[in-house]
């Protein structure tokens, strides 16, 4: 199944070659090269479509071509298999005979699918990522206290009064479950120095949901948005979908270069920053630049989106207060998520908003998704109120520190000829610089074919030249898994060094 990660990275939207033809050519190449072996069973078309982030019709069309040309053999009730006797020659063109119903469905989808920016999300957002080494920004879900969570859930259900259960089983509040907002207000006050009321908090289906809605509310077509480069692909996608113009700005050891924003787009309407830990490079935004950013927002009448995505996991010293804590004019929108603190499948995040924006966001939330599931919100509120969140974060901080130390030691012992990793003070991954001439993109492609996941920083860059940098996640993996992953990387470096150069 690791092949799906490689295929997903190679499929390109917006090109002249249809997606089903791209998938067809890739599968022909993998089968012919022996990466997919004769007799091997392929995933179902539904699983293929879900994991690649394409429609099932796209996969059906590709499979139909391969079946008609003798590469695949469907077996009723069992699945689709690679044939044992492959064709001697690669096909020169697509077969003339295609299932008419599938072709018609594909044509109908093309006729009615809107050609808008929102239909062209980057691949990093579009398909499900599996927790394989060295997936970045993924918590240790295998160590989550599932039994404690289940016990709290059972108690919550038992305590529901059938005569007064409407609060949790009926309609939800678009702003979010009030006890959860109260718990969040206390949490961010203690951990990040924010002064806010529960009234200022709105619950979302993750931080990306909040980012997207902010772009819809605060931007009009043609307005400019300051974005970190390299930086979070979600803001580029959401700004573009709103009709705005992302302006990539460089980052250095002090974070976002505000002076570049002032020079290139002084009248921008919005700035997105990750000041506590720049994504993906990891530096803090300096205090001087924080003040410069706030001064610009005040003078320009602009807004700042502060993404504080994993500050809970800090391994040394104290972080600077959140940018929101320095804001005196209500220009900063602070976004947080439970995906890293708890687990990604929860899909709960929150925004701390200025008073002037609360009503607009709650009204928009009522339209976009209406509200998050109330029982999950109630369960998180209880998890926080009973002190389990704080205890879990402390436990994970210790575990992640140990795992980072092990990974760094292993990289130094086994891969020092090819890369140099830098320790991180915060978060779930380290940045590694490759030896001169090696390409992060090429390494990621080779690693995907061997069942690993490496994020090249160039995948998150627009103008920045950073193909010599990669991320290596450590938080979700045991020492044994990291050891095995490092050995796979070593074999890639030693056996195919030429393939890692552009």
What the block records as the tokens of 111 is 């006729």
Residue 34 structural domain: 2-113
pLDDT over 60 (residue 135): yes
Bigger pLDDT: 55 vs 448? 448
CA dihedral 72, 76, 79, 80 (to 10 degrees): 0
Bigger pLDDT: 105 vs 147? 147
pLDDT over 90 (residue 71): no
- Number of H helices and E strands in the chain, helices first, is 20, 14
Percent of the chain with pLDDT over 70: 87
Decide if 122 is inside a domain: no
**Total count of domains within the chain:** 3
436 and 362 assigned to the same domain: no
Nearest to 217 by CA among 68, 420, 396, 359: 359
pLDDT over 70 (residue 5): no
* Residues 351-377 pLDDT 10s: 999 999 999 999 999 998 888 988 999
359 and 294 assigned to the same domain: yes
Decide if 241 is inside a domain: yes
273 and 194 assigned to the same domain: yes
Largest alpha-carbon pair distance within the chain?
72
Number of neighbouring beta carbons within 10 Å of residue 227? 26
Strand, coil or helix: 241: helix
314 and 176 assigned to the same domain: yes
Q: Mean pLDDT, to the nearest integer, of 315-332? A: 89
186 and 277 assigned to the same domain: yes
62 and 193 assigned to the same domain: no
Nearest to 326 by CA among 285, 278, 277: 285
Residue 105: give its domain's CATH number.
1.10.10.10
Q: Mean pLDDT, to the nearest integer, of 61-84? A: 80
Residue 179: give its domain's CATH number.
3.40.640.10
403 and 382 assigned to the same domain: no
| Domain finish residue from 373, 389, 405 | 389
H helical segments located in 37-92:
45-52, 56-68
pLDDT over 70 (residue 106): no
190 and 316 assigned to the same domain: yes
343 and 224 assigned to the same domain: yes
Nearest to 202 by CA among 323, 86, 372, 414: 372
* CA-based radius of gyration for the chain: 24
369 and 227 assigned to the same domain: yes
């Amino acid at each position: 199944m690791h092949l799906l990660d490689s295929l997903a990275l190679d499929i390109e939207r917006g090109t002249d070659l249809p997606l089903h033809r791209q998938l067809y050519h890739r599968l022909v190449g993998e089968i012919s090269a022996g990466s997919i072996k004769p007799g091997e069973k392929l995933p179902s078309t539904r699983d293929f479509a879900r994991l690649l982030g394409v429609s099932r019709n796209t996969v059906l069309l590709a499979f139909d071509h391969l079946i008609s040309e003798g590469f695949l053999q469907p077996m009723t009730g069992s699945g689709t298999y690679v044939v044992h006797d492959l064709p001697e020659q690669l096909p020169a063109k697509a077969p003339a005979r295609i299932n008419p119903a599938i072709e018609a469905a594909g044509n109908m989808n093309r006729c009615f699918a809107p050609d808008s920016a929102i239909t062209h999300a980057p691949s990093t957002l579009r398909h499900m990522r599996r927790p394989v080494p060295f997936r970045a920004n993924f918590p240790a879900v295998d160590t989550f206290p599932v039994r404690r969570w289940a016990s709290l859930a059972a108690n919550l259900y038992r305590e529901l009064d059938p005569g007064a259960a409407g609060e949790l089983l009926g309609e939800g509040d678009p702003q979010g479950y009030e006890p959860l907002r109260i718990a969040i207000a206390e949490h961010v006050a203690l951990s990040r120095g924010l002064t806010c009321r529960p009234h200022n908090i709105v619950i979302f289906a993750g931080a990306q949901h909040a980012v997207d809605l902010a772009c819809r509310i605060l931007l009009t077509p043609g307005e400019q948005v300051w974005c970190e480069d390299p930086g979070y692909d979600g803001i580029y996608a959401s700004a573009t979908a709103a009709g705005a113009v992302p302006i990539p700005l460089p980052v250095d050891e002090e974070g976002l270069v505000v002076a570049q924003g002032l020079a290139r787009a002084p009248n921008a309407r919005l700035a997105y920053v990750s000041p506590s830990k720049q994504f993906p490079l990891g530096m803090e935004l300096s205090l001087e630049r924080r003040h410069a950013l706030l001064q610009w927002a005040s003078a320009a009448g602009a807004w700042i989106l502060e993404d504080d995505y994993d500050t809970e996991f800090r391994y040394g010293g104290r972080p600077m207060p959140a940018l929101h804590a320095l804001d005196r004019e209500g220009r900063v929108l602070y976004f947080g998520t439970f995906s890293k603190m708890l687990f990604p499948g929860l899909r709960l995040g929150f925004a701390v908003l200025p008073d002037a924006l609360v009503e607009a966001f709650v009204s928009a939330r009522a339209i976009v998704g209406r509200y998050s599931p109330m029982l999950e919100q109630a369960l998180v509120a209880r998890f926080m109120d009973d002190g389990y969140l704080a205890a879990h974060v402390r436990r994970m901080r210790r575990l992640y520190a140990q795992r980072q130390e092990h990974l760094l030691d292993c990289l130094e012992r086994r891969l020092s000829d090819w890369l140099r990793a830098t320790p991180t003070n915060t978060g779930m991954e380290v940045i590694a610089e490759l030896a001169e001439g090696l390409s992060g993109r090429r390494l990621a492609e080779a690693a995907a074919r061997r069942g690993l996941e490496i994020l090249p920083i160039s995948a998150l860059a627009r103008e920045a030249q950073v193909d010599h940098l990669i991320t290596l996640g450590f938080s979700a993996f045991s020492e044994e898994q990291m050891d095995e992953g490092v050995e796979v990387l070593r074999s890639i470096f030693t056996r195919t060094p030429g393939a890692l150069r552009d």
